[in-house]
Every structure is written in C-alpha cells, then in structure tokens.
Amino acid sequence: MKHLTEYRNPELAKKVLKEIEKTATRNWKIMEICGGQTHSLVKNGILSVLPENIEMLHGPGCPVCVTPLHLIDKAIYLAKEKDVILCSFGDMLRVPGSTGSLLEAKAKGADVRILYSPLEAVQIARQNPDKEVVFFAVGFETTAPANALSIIHAQKLGLKNYSILNSHVLVPPAIKALMEDPLAEIDAFLAAGHVCSIMGYTQYHELAEKYKIPIVVTGFEPLDLLQGILAAVKQLENGTHFVENQYKRIVKEEGNLEAQNIIEKVYETGNQEWRGIGTIPESGWHLKKEFEGFDANKKFNINIDKVPESEICIAGDVMKGVKKPFQCPAFGKTCTPQNPLGAPMVSSEGACAAYYNFRNMIKIIE
C-alpha cells in the first residue's frame, strides 16, 4: 500500500479482523505501548469489534502522563517565582501538579509560552538576552533528538540564558519493568512505531527472547493496528516470540543513526521516576556533565518537596495495564478533563482521556 487512506480502508480492515477472529483460539492480552495507539484503538472503534478473547491493555507510552508530579511543580515554580520564560509543548499546560497547572500559572501572569519546537525556545533566548528561558523537555525517544539539538545550538551560539527542565523516558526498560511486575499479565506487545523510527528495534530482540514474548513494531492507523494485533496473535498461537516489523514504511531495524548520534552526544542513561509507576532503573536520559550548564534543575538549584499523588487516582495501574480507566471510581465523576486528578485524563495521549472523549465506544466494551 502506498497511500495513507489505504490504512483507513474499512473493507481491508474487515478482512484483517476476520483473520484475527479465525486465528485466535485462546484468550490473549496484548499491550500497545504508545498512547497514540491507544487513542487510535478507541476512537476508531477497534476495541469494540475485536473478538472477545483478544483484550488490549494500555501501556505507559504517554510522555505527558509519566512526567513526575514534582517536575510539574518545578516548572510552575520556575514560571511563577523565578520570572523565567517557561516554554513547553501545549499538552503539558493542563497537566495537574500539586498546586495547579502551568495554564493556571499563565492565567495569573507567568510568562508561559506554547511552542512547537525546542529550537523556537533557543531563538526566544537569543532575542531576550536579559531573561532566562527554560524549555520543559519531556518525552520518549521520539522528542529527544530535537531537545538535544536545541542544547547543541544554544552552546554554539554561546547562550547562557537557555536551559531545559528535562524528563526523558525510554521504552525498553519500561517493557522490562512491566514484565517483572507481579500484577501485570501481558502476552504480547505492540511497540511504538514513532519511537522505533528513531531508535530502531535491535534492543527489543533481547526482551522478546528473555521474556518469551512477541513484540510487533506497529503504526497508528486502524489497519496498522489490526495488522499488528494479527501478527502478535499468530506468534502467540504458534508459540513463537520474536520482533516483527509491521511499520516497514517508516521503521528500519537500525533506526535513524543521525538522530541517535545527536542523542548520544548530549545524553546518558540513568534511573528515572515515572509518575504513578515509580522509579525504573536506567529508564531515563539525563544531560551529560559537559552540558550541565543547560540543566535547569541545577542552574536554579530547585528544591521542592515531593507531594504524594491523589489516593483516588489509579493512573499507575492504568498505565501498567492492570486496570482500565472506567474501573477508577473517580472516572467521569470527580476526575474529568475539566478537573483532572491525574495526567492521563488531560493528555492527548492519555488512556483516560481517550475513554472519556470516546465513551460512547466504551459502553460497548463494558
């Protein structure tokens, strides 16, 4: 297939769906890692038409959702108390911290700006030499190259007033943590296609072999997801476990080597806290020592006490695939997009937001 519309063709989708129904003879639980895939599954009605013995679990692949609560508090602190120009992607603005959100800070006069690229933040720093500019750099492997490149550019320009508040998380360590969680029951994974377009999927071979689990690199269109599910089911039924690439039109096994070189120049791996989940060893990228001058955490010596998450919110269990959003007692009641208890209810990739916004589909699933 050559055109995007073909991946949304309902007749082709029906054929793949019938093959899934024919192939699956047992109950299987398949987790899609990426929040973008979760939204596609829900809004396209795929969850409601899959056979009953195929259950999709929703993973922690929403970068906004897993950004630690206290890091949101740090961003708000910088914007309100340090008089910086705080730059961020738009989906971070409504994520709740312990004392509100960046959007609320902006409404109260803080200089919070929505950008489409961290390179815009570098330009703002260049245009405002008398102001400190901080970019809220969150994301998985997909956004890391651009964030790293912003630091390289700022260094070349000799900018001393640019820094990033960094929270980068990595998929392979998260898969390992999920497989070793005693509550998780996962038979196969759909790997995030956009992440693999940067990093490739060589790291996944070891995971597939160690945990005896199929991993299928999958795109985001309806047919992508159905083909990914079918590939996973075929492996499960055949008792095989290897990495398969459904997203060949975008993903190469080695990934984007140029982007990887940029990341490697600026970042090194280390332990990382995931909101609602906890600390996962070697699951984050942190700035190397030679780039510490661009680390807002160290530059501003931010010390903010950690505040516990809402006792009602079950976002962690949702992101580990242990529970579905509608199983939360607060879902759609005390937790809504207008009054969120956790990040998955406001993020454009959050499972709770998907289930809430397309809840007419969820009624079928329940």
Domain ranges of the chain: 69-170+256-299
| 3-class DSSP assignment, residue 248 | coil
| 3-class DSSP assignment, residue 20 | helix
Q: What is the C-alpha separation between 256 and 200, in angstroms, rounded?
A: 7
pLDDT value of residue 365: 44
CB 219 within 8 A of CB 7: yes
pLDDT value of residue 1: 61
pLDDT value of residue 362: 60
Q: What share of the chain is helix, strand, coil (3-state, %, to 5)?
A: 45, 20, 35
pLDDT value of residue 361: 67
CATH number of the domain at 69-170+256-299, please?
3.40.50.11740
Question: Which of 364, 358, 349, 365 minimizes the C-alpha distance to 92?
Answer: 349
Quickly count: other Cβ atoms within 10 Å of residue 195's Cβ: 25
Question: Which of 359, 319, 317, 308 minimizes the C-alpha distance to 337?
Answer: 359
pTM, to two decimals: 0.93
pLDDT value of residue 310: 83
Question: Which of 177, 169, 175, 180 minimizes the C-alpha distance to 191?
Answer: 175
Block means of pLDDT (10 residues each) for the chain, length 366 residues?
A: 71 94 98 95 93 96 91 94 93 89 94 96 97 96 96 97 96 96 95 96 98 97 96 98 97 97 97 93 96 95 83 92 94 91 90 90 51
pLDDT value of residue 2: 61
pLDDT value of residue 364: 43
**Residue 141 corresponds to which tokens in the numbers above?**
């492997």
pLDDT value of residue 4: 65
pLDDT value of residue 42: 94
pLDDT value of residue 331: 93
Amino acid found at 293: G
Looking at 200-347, list the stretches that DSSP marks H as alpha helix, in order from N- to C-terminal side: 202-210, 222-238, 257-266, 296-299, 315-319
Q: What is the C-alpha separation between 231 and 322, in angstroms, rounded?
A: 23
Q: What is the C-alpha separation between 295 and 293, in angstroms, rounded?
A: 6
Q: What is the C-alpha separation between 78 and 300, in angstroms, rounded?
A: 8
Q: Which residues touch 247 (CB under 8 Å, ≥6 apart)?
A: 193, 196, 197, 217, 218, 219, 224
